[in-house]
A and B are shown apart, each in its own frame.
Chain A
Amino acid sequence: MSFSKLDYKGKNPSTLCKGCGHDGITASIVNAYHELQIPPQDIIKLSGIGCSSKIPNYFMDSSFGFNSIHGRMASLATGVHLSQPKAKLLGISGDGDTASIGLSGFLHMIRRNVPIIYIIADNGVYGLTKGQFSATSKSGDTLKSKQEQVFEEINSLLLALNTGCDFVARAFSGDQVQLKSIIQAASLHSGSAVINVISPCVAYGNHEGYSKNYSLNQEIKYDLNEIDIIPDPKEALLPKLNIKNLKPDYNHHSIESALKLLQSEQTTKALHTGIIYLNKNPKENLNQRLNKSAENKFDLENFGLSDEEFSSFLNNYKI
C-alpha cells in the first residue's frame, strides 16, 4: 500500500498570513513524510499555543493531533510517550512557546530524551498578540514601533546541546528542501530531535533591523551539510542516512564542534543550517530508561490485581 501526497496534505486551508514562513514548514513536513511513506496514522501531532502551534492543523488529517496550552507541548508529549512508547511524535512549537513559557518543560523533555521531532518555528516575535518581542530575539533588534530589545537572546539549540540532546539541527523556512531532509533524518532518530527553524514573521518581524527577517537570513545562511536519505531497496530496513560535510573541519558528531559553532555565531554573524549535532551513539529514550517494554499499555480487558495479589497485599497490613 502506498500513500499519495494528498494523504499528507491537510484539507484545512492555512489561516496564517500570506507568505508566513510557517507554511513553508508545513510543506516540508508533507514532503518529508510522503517521500518516506510513513503511514499518517502512525504519527501523533502535538503543539502548544501560538501561530506555530496552528501548523499541525494544516497537514495529515488522518493523524490524531493535540493543540494544547501555551508552553506545555513537551509535557504533553512526555505523557503520550509514557502511554504509547511506540508512537512517532511530531511536535511543533514556537519561540515563545519553547524559550519563554515552556522553557522548563522543553529542557526536561530533552534530559529525559522523550522520542519526538520537536520543531521550533522561530520568528522572534509574538504574532497572535501583535508583535511583542520573544526571548529568541537578539539584543539590539528593533520592533516596527522602534522599540529596542535590551535583553540577551535565549539560544534554544545551545540549551538543547547542553542538556544532552542527541539530535540538534537548524533550518530556514526559505529552504524547504533542506528542512525536508532534516525532518527525514530526525524521523530515523530514537530520542528527542530538536530542529530550530528560522521562520520569518511577515507581519511583525520582517523589517530591517530585525535579525530574523527573510533577506538577512537568506544572505547569512551557511549550509553545514548535505543530507541524503537512501531507502532500503527491499524496504525491510530503515532508510540509510548519509550526511556529507560542507564546512571544512566541521564534525557534526562532535559536541565540542557544535557548541563552538553556535557560540561563534555571535561574531561570525552566520546562520549555520543543517545537522549541527548528531550523537553517533544515541542515548536510551525515556521509556527505555524506565526499563519498560515498548508495548502499548492500552488494554480494554486486563486490569487490576488478581485476588491472590490483593489478599497478599492486605495481609501486610493485618494486625
Chain B
Amino acid sequence: MDFRINIATPNGTGSYTANRLLTKILLKNGIFCSSKNLFPSNIAGLPTWFNIRINKEKFTGFKKETNIYIGFNKKTYLSDLEDIGSDALVITNKDFKLSTSNKETIEIPIRELTKPLSESPSLRKLLSNLVYVGYCAKVLGCNKEKSIEVLKKDFLKKSEELFKLNTDAFLKGFDYQNETESEATFFKQEKAPQTLTTDFDETHLIDGNTASALGFLDGGASVVTWYPITPSSSLVENFEKIGRTLKSSKGITVLQCEDEISSAVAVLGAGWSGARAFTATSGPGLSLMQESIGLGYFSEVPMVIADVQRAGPSTGLPTRTAQGDLLTAHYSSHGDTLHPVLLPSSVQELYDDSFQSLNLAESLQTPIILLSDLDLGMNDWSTKALQRSNKVNRGQVVTSKQDDFKRYKLNKNLPERSLPRISDPSLSYFTRGSGHDEKGRYSENPEVYESKLTKLKNKVIKNKNLFPKDILKEENSEFSLIFYGSTTQIIKEVNALLGESISTYQIRSLPCDQKVYDFAKKYKFNFVLEQNRDGQMHKILKANSLNENFVSLTQFNGLPSTAEHFVFQIKTYLEKDS
C-alpha cells in the first residue's frame, strides 16, 4: 500500500512542529512512513506543503499523487485541489467556507473545537494544527494511548501545561471523527492503513543535518567557522547545541564569520595549526570559498566543507533540493585541482562520511567536500539506530627533531606535516599558496612545479582505498542504474516499478573508482540518474570512459526526485532503442 499525505499550511504558523509530530505518531503506531517538507524561502505567511509517505515496501522517495490532502491554507486550497485527483480524501477547516467537488471532503470546525482550549487567538491558531494531527491519526488507525506517548516525549520536557494543551487539542481532533459519518467510505476501502502495520527496524527519526553534526562531533571536530545559509544552517546550529550538552565535546568552538570567504580561510588556519575544523555551507557559499579551497589544495592543509546543496545557480531556489554542485565541488578553484567529494545517501552515511571527512582531510592533507542536499539534510528520515564503526585517524604528524625536514616530500604516498608550537622548531616551515619545493621554499622552477601538481593528483587518486566504498549489486539485466547521494533513496522503487531486478551501482565518492568502469562494461546501457540539468556525474564518467555506454537521466525541478519520473525516462529510452 502506498499513500501520500499532503498537508498545506501557511509557513510560520507552527505547522512544521505539528506535522513532524504526526510522522512520529504514525511510526510509533507501526506505520512506516517518511516525510518531505516543501517550504518557501520566507519567514511567515507563504504556502508550505508537508508530505508524509506511507509505504509498506519502505519506499521513501517523493510521490506525485496525493491520497490524503489536508488543506489548512485558505490561499492555496482551491488551486491545490486542481492538481489533486478527485479520489483523494480532503480534510479541511470548516471555517474556510470553501466548497469543492471532491468525492470526500471532511470539514473540521476548528474554531468551535479550539475555542474552549484557550482565550488567546494566537495560541488557538497553533493548537488548530494539533486538531488536524489528531483527526488524521485517528483516520489512519492510530492508537490513542500510543499517540499520546509521542506528545509526552516532545512536550513534557518543555512544560506540563504545554503538554496538556497540545494533548487536549490533539484529542479534540482524534475524537471528532467519531461524531461524523463522512469518514467512512475512504477508509472502508482496502487501502486503509491499518493493514500496513508491520514490524520494522527503523526505530529512529532523524534529519540529515543532525546526523552530520553528530558525525562531526564524534569525529572530534573542535573548530567550526561558518556563515548562515539555507539549507546548511541547522547542521552547525545542531553541532553547537548538541556539543554544548555533551561533556566530551565541551571544548568545541563555533564562530559565525562575516562571510563564507572568511569562514573557509579560518578553517584553513585552524586545520593548519592542529584543530579538526570544518565549515558548512550551500552553493553560493561554495562559490565564494573557491580561492581558499585552491589554497588548501596547493599548500596541503586539511579542510572539510559540508555543502548541503540547494537549487542554483545564483540564489536559485534556496529552499529546494538539487545535486547541482558536483562539478564545482570536484574541481573547485582555478588551475588544475581535483578534490575528494563524499556522496552520502542516507542519515547513516551522512554520519559516517562527516566523521570520515575529518580523517580523510588529515590523512591526505587536502580539502574534502562532503556533498549532501536539502532533501537529505533538512528532512526527517526513518532509520535504524546509527551504527558507530569509525576510528579517528589524524594522518601523519611529525613532532620530534629532524635534520633536513621536508614538509612536501614527493616520494611519500601519504603526506607528512608538522604543526606550529607542537612540533619541534626544526620542523618549522613556511606555508604558501605560491610555487614551492619539497621544503616549502618559494620556487618558480618548471620541474618543481610540474612534479608538485602531479603529486597532488596522485595523492588523491592513489589513496582511493581510504574513501567510502561504492555499493554495487549485480543482476542479470540488460542495463544498469548508476546514481549517488539522495537519488539513491528512490532506486528500490525504480527497480520495483520496472518489474525486474536491475544491476545497480551507487557511487559513494569522487574521483570515480575504476570499479565503476569495470561494472559498466557489462551492460548495454548504464543509466546515470541525478538531480541536475546537465548530468554532471554523467559528464565525469564520460570524461574517463572508453566505450562504456553511459546514458544521462536527470530531474531538476527543485523537488525531490520521483521514481515515476526516472522510470518514464528509462522506458522511453528503451522503446526508442528497440
**Which residues does A use to contact B, with CB under 8 Å?**
12, 40-42, 44-46, 56-57, 61-69, 72, 74-84, 86-87, 104-105, 108, 112, 286-287, 290, 292-293, 295-298, 300, 302-306, 309-310, 313-314, 317-319
Contact = CB atoms under 8 A, between A and B. Distances in A.
Given A80-B273, A305-B246, A310 B258 contact: no
A83 B266 CA distance: 10
Contact of B291 (A62, A63, A69): A69
Contact of B420 (A44, A75, A305, A318): A44
Contact of B219 (A57, A76, A304, A310): A304
A40 B425 contact: yes
A82 B276 CA distance: 11
A83 B425 contact: no
Contacts of B263: 75
A67 B206 contact: no
A81 B272 CA distance: 11
B481 interface: no
A304 B428 contact: no
B246 A309 contact: yes
B205 A76 contact: no
Contact of B421 (A44, A79, A108, A306): A44
Contact of A76 (B242, B265, B430): B265
Nearest to A54: B442
Contacts of B248: 302, 304-306, 309
A290 B246 CA distance: 17
Interface stretch (B85-93, B384-392, B532-540): B384-392
A296 B274 CA distance: 9
A80 B271 CA distance: 8
A42 B420 CA distance: 8
11 contacts: A41-B421, A44-B420, A64-B418, A64-B430, A80-B273, A82-B266, A105-B258, A298-B274, A305-B218, A313-B242, A319-B205
A66 B257 contact: no
Interface string B525-556: 00000000000000000000000000000000
Given A67-B430, A67-B434, A82 B255 contact: yes
Given A83-B270, A297-B223, A319 B421 contact: no
| Shortest 8 CB-CB contacts between residues of A and residues of B | A79-B269, A303-B220, A79-B266, A64-B420, A298-B274, A83-B275, A75-B265, A75-B262
B247 to A, nearest CB: 7
Contacts of B431: 64-67
Interface string B201-222: 0011110001000100111101
B28 interface: yes
Contacts of A46: 269
Classify chain B's interface size.
35 or more
Nearest to A287: B253
Contact of A310 (B204, B388, B434): B388
B24 interface: yes
Contacts of A306: 247-248
Contact of B269 (A57, A76, A293): A76
A83 B273 contact: yes
B272 A80 contact: yes
B269 A77 contact: yes
B385 A314 contact: yes
Interface of B: 24, 27-28, 150, 203-206, 210, 214, 217-220, 222-223, 225, 242, 246-249, 251, 253, 255, 257-259, 261-263, 265-277, 291-292, 295, 299, 385-386, 388, 392, 394, 397, 418-422, 425-426, 428-434, 441-442
A57 B430 contact: yes
Given A82-B253, A317-B206, A319-B150, A68 B428 contact: no
A6 B266 CA distance: 32
A263 B397 CA distance: 51
Contacts of A12: 441
A79 B274 contact: no
Contact of B265 (A44, A65, A72, A310): A72
B60 to A, nearest CB: 15
A112 B255 CA distance: 10
Nearest to A298: B274
Contacts of B425: 40-41, 62-63
A213 B351 CA distance: 58
Nearest to A64: B420
A10 to B, nearest CB: 10
Nearest to B258: A108
A296 to B, nearest CB: 7
Given A78-B255, A78-B266, A319-B204, A66 B421 contact: no
B88 to A, nearest CB: 27
A300 B220 CA distance: 10
A42 B291 CA distance: 29
A68 B295 contact: yes
B253 to A, nearest CB: 5
Contacts of A86: 421
Contacts of A62: 425-426, 428
A113 to B, nearest CB: 13
Contacts of B27: 319
B295 A75 contact: no
Given A45-B430, A303-B392, 14 more contacts: A63-B425, A64-B421, A66-B430, A74-B262, A76-B265, A76-B266, A79-B269, A79-B277, A82-B225, A82-B266, A83-B222, A298-B419, A314-B385, A318-B385
A66 B421 CA distance: 14
Contact of A41 (B210, B428, B430): B428
